[in-house]
Structure 1
């Protein structure tokens, strides 16, 4: 049977920064450039599909936590943990502005579709509108009670929508400088927001695992999805507005909204995806983990609704208007109470203390790391003219039987000064990718090593020829004595068992550890499937093997009903040991389990500890009291241990803050 092409595949994975990556943004005009920010206080720009950074922008004095391209991809704005914004001109490779005013970390950014303005949302709960030319804050919008996770300008540039950690989606009128409405319906933090490209419609994705659609005339909910298996992390409307793309952890869905229904679903191992963008007939997704960034491609022509019958027409519910859906468009938006006020908000004095010195523009640098790619992306052109559209060629899709590059199989890549990966460690797909304007691909510029002298192998199979790999190259060769005895430079025939035996030589210790771990897990699985859940938990604790305990706890975290007061009292001492582990994954599992116990049992523990059983015979209450007391002692020990250790940083810091907040309920 002939091989078919994939609908989605990994394009590349590379080391982007010398510290952890905190944010990234894809250029939505071309879908072929990307910018990243990290703990190393740098902003790096990349051509998607190529492993080397085009530019490295430095100057921030604290980690970069938000980045965004300008609409024409000629500018980049970056916000730091200190609250400062820096704007770079990419064509001239220089710093334009440093803007200060936020009192805490900047988490979201967006450029105005027409004017020289940029909006920023911060952990300080405020939204600021900045004039790039006048180098000042025009207005501050206050109303959220939590971090502003995302914000977007409307297509006509008159509104701002903001998604908050407080679970609210707010709509602001720029002209009047006030809030129009807030949309309530999400039960957890709103992570992302997106305006429909033409209709008066807005979509919001949330940590409650749903996408909700809102009408911007009636300010009412249009529909809501049933819910994904993981929180929604990124959404994007189709360029024509016919459907919505939704990205969650390891999952991609296509939605229609009148009525709400899922048109297509893909399982993609992209982890915590950060952003998706459309480039002609393909979707580009990007994710980051630690110092690595990975990019993925989805063939939009092979997913619904493009691959299936057209969507049924939407029934008209209002007088005839220009939008296809029957909903009014942004061009003919009716005036609201706020927009009738024609007074423009005056530039307000910023009473917050500066976080970065604006004079450090002299220390900011935009270093071009790859001149060839830079010239290719930013061809010389007049600053008075609009950027000419660059030819964008689709990334070629691999066949179904070809294996995408796996992050596990790739060796660690040391970061260079700009954070790029060494050229010798490029993923396979990067060599296939075509560069813009019909130029030759990056793989053609790389000098190829001289061919090795080797004995002609046997004719390769069809799958070998398609993948370009020879499996014999990865099998152990015969020893020197056997070659001498045979008199020829050919590998002797070897059984699979002999090959595995040779491969495992030198790894006996690790093999013993893994075999022992597998045997223990098989014993626990047998107990678990027989219905003895508590017995399997007690057996795992008695094994005193942290790896086995971590595996079991991770399974239990998937289902809250497995946890009881009795189980919590037994597991908490082992969780304290996990929090003292040198492995970050063990610490993360321990913190997650402590959080779950506090959420489910903190009120019960507090009520029983503060009100011990009265005199008399009440065995069940006495048992519950002793279990609560044991849990309370362990939780207090965990709190004191976390307070004494100041080494938790990066990914662990948010979880530790949540644990401390939940423990306050025990006081």
Structure 2
């Protein structure tokens, strides 16, 4: 097999339009690293083969946006949770809906399949964790203990434990057999986004919005390691297959960590933005991220990544990294004992024991409503050839999707840049309008027809004769009425394209007065630079204002610093300060609440996503830290005598309550929105529910 370009450590594999509306969730198949599931605000789940341009299957049935997705370990099933709290499980090989599970009262935020039995766990914004029996459509057990949304769930390799991560900054470990919590880890200072068990040893890793990744010993139940230096929230983590190191994905960066002692082996700038999921295949790490309707996949060549302090980066023997010396003492840690057989009776015995010990079992029989939900769900095969290659069993023994042994090749330096396509879920074909231009019209076909998007749009394009060769590149003419079928182009966007994705030079050029005129480079640069001076003035003003606030901040008076930021009457300054304070909840005092709550109201109504996100984070912290104090102070009987401190606290709590009451109406209205912000505001609505009593 020829070796591809090995000069690259990381590259963009592809970018595609995955849904007709914003993408809301992603999941890679961890076993093969070759399958991708995407969920969107269009309520669909689409299945893709990694590096292939077209959707393989499109799954329907949900009536609200899909919030999270997960493959089973065999990649034969996929489960998706929605904003309404429902779960749907599809059998990919049979191309049909398998189960519809109802029971959560709010958004489903996390999912995981049990490694052996026909069970899955779900975590929700309603703070509950549920264990489901997929075969019987029943909830086996409900685990309660978190106080905020459950963002991630992970079963241990032996199937006996369940780890959960939550916005309440805790990681909890549950015993599935006993039906109770084993321990709780509280060392994180912000929401925990991800947890994962070590593939062999009794170790658990967690990543958080506090920009740290922590490791926990599951025998002594204590923290044994913590990373520092992440530039942003840790969104996804993955142990290497042999368990020798841990990969951590954050904003645009992949880090490789070791433990005992803590050390960072390597840092790779990937440029994947807010990476959502990781998978490892053929000594390559696949990372996936999304923005609006687009999904991007990136590859990191692990052969070129340093994975220990004693192995030289890039030193490979027989296409395999050299052996890494095992840290002293690590072999003493206990390993998981996996079942030697997949006997169904054994799994059922464990399940029955759990149900017998559980006082809160929620087993129920399938109802007519479930049957109706299943009938309304469907699995449409949009690419039969790719579906047959992936999901059709090669023999009667193995039903696991086939593993492709070849790694993903790095792009060549001179590789061309194909265009994007319309996804198979939104099938269109070009038809001429009255002006002779092509426009999209729906057709009844399961075969996607591609929409070609020009990479550069000139102000006044003119047709170029086909018979006349030209040495200089000419702007592409507008399409005219044609009878030939458009030739499909792969929806893969390689990283070697010189132009930034989503920007067309023509958007920045003035309309030409004469159709025959061509805009020169100098004139184009003048037009592009028109807003440069204005932007410089804005940034200079912002820098000056931040210097003013920083001078007050140096005195150590946080409240005065925040008041000075508010007095400047620039929301961007308030956002900058809040982003710092939100990372350190200990800085929050009751005085800050009375000062900042009116500003939070403005932030929640802002048109800028980052402002809304910062406002929501601040409001969550206020409700979490101060609502019990506010409630107790306002409901406690009046004291005898004069207590000035208590009177001041009572006045502050009264002011905060009034401001929170006003905010609750705004949050309630925003919670009815569809999309990412709607989910956040629904969570805030649950936290603010006590205000109505």
> Under a length normalisation based on structure 1, what TM-score does the superposition of the two structures give?
0.70
The number of equivalent residue pairs is 596
Q: Distance in 1 between matches of 2:368 and 2:268?
A: 43
Comparing 382-391 with 27-36, greater Cα deviation is found at: 382-391
Q: Distance in 2 between matches of 1:568 and 1:164?
A: 24
1:455 alignment partner in structure 2: 470
1:437 alignment partner in structure 2: none
2:391 alignment partner in structure 1: 378
State the 1:239 CA deviation.
0.8
CA contact (8 A) 1:82 1:105 kept: yes
CA offsets 1:566-602 (integer angstroms, 9 cap, x no match): 9988876665445444454444455456667778999
2:327 alignment partner in structure 1: 314
State the 1:382 CA deviation.
3.8
Change (3 A) 1:571 1:403: farther
State the 1:126 CA deviation.
3.0
State the 1:641 CA deviation.
4.8
Q: Distance in 1 between matches of 2:591 and 2:142?
A: 49
State the 1:139 CA deviation.
2.7
Unmatched 5+ residue regions in structure 2? 314-322, 340-345, 356-360, 429-447, 456-463, 474-494
Change (3 A) 1:252 1:418: farther
What are the within-5 Å matches in structure 2 for residues 172-187 of structure 1?
172-173=175-176, 176-179=177-180, 181-187=182-188
CA contact (8 A) 2:84 2:106 kept: yes
1:345 and 2:356 correspond: no
1:368 and 2:370 correspond: no
Change (3 A) 1:578 1:170: closer
State the 1:468 CA deviation.
7.2
1:297 alignment partner in structure 2: 299
What are the within-5 Å matches in structure 2 for residues 235-634 of structure 1?
235-305=237-307, 308=312, 311-316=324-329, 325-331=331-337, 345=352, 350=363, 357-379=370-392, 381-387=394-400, 389-398=402-411, 416-417=425-426, 424=452, 455-457=470-472, 496=522, 498-501=523-526, 514=535, 517-518=538-539, 520-521=541-542, 524=545, 549-560=570-581, 576-592=601-617
CA contact (8 A) 1:16 1:421 kept: no
Question: For 1:152, which of 146, 154, 157 is the aligned residue?
Answer: 154
Q: Distance in 1 between matches of 2:532 and 2:423?
A: 28
Change (3 A) 1:22 1:582: closer
CA contact (8 A) 1:524 1:539 kept: no
Question: For 1:171, which of 174, 185, 204 is the aligned residue?
Answer: 174
1:225 alignment partner in structure 2: 226
Change (3 A) 1:386 1:647: closer
Change (3 A) 1:8 1:474: same
CA contact (8 A) 2:37 2:45 kept: yes
Q: Distance in 2 between matches of 1:142 and 1:178?
A: 8
State the 1:32 CA deviation.
1.5
Question: For 1:202, which of 201, 204, 214 is the aligned residue?
Answer: 204
State the 1:524 CA deviation.
3.8
SS of 1:22's equivalent?
Answer: strand
Q: Distance in 1 between matches of 2:213 and 2:368?
A: 36
CA RMSD in angstroms comes to 5.4
Comparing 354-363 with 42-51, greater Cα deviation is found at: 354-363
State the 1:75 CA deviation.
2.0
CA contact (8 A) 1:15 1:421 kept: no
Q: Distance in 1 between matches of 2:266 and 2:327?
A: 19
Change (3 A) 1:53 1:550: farther
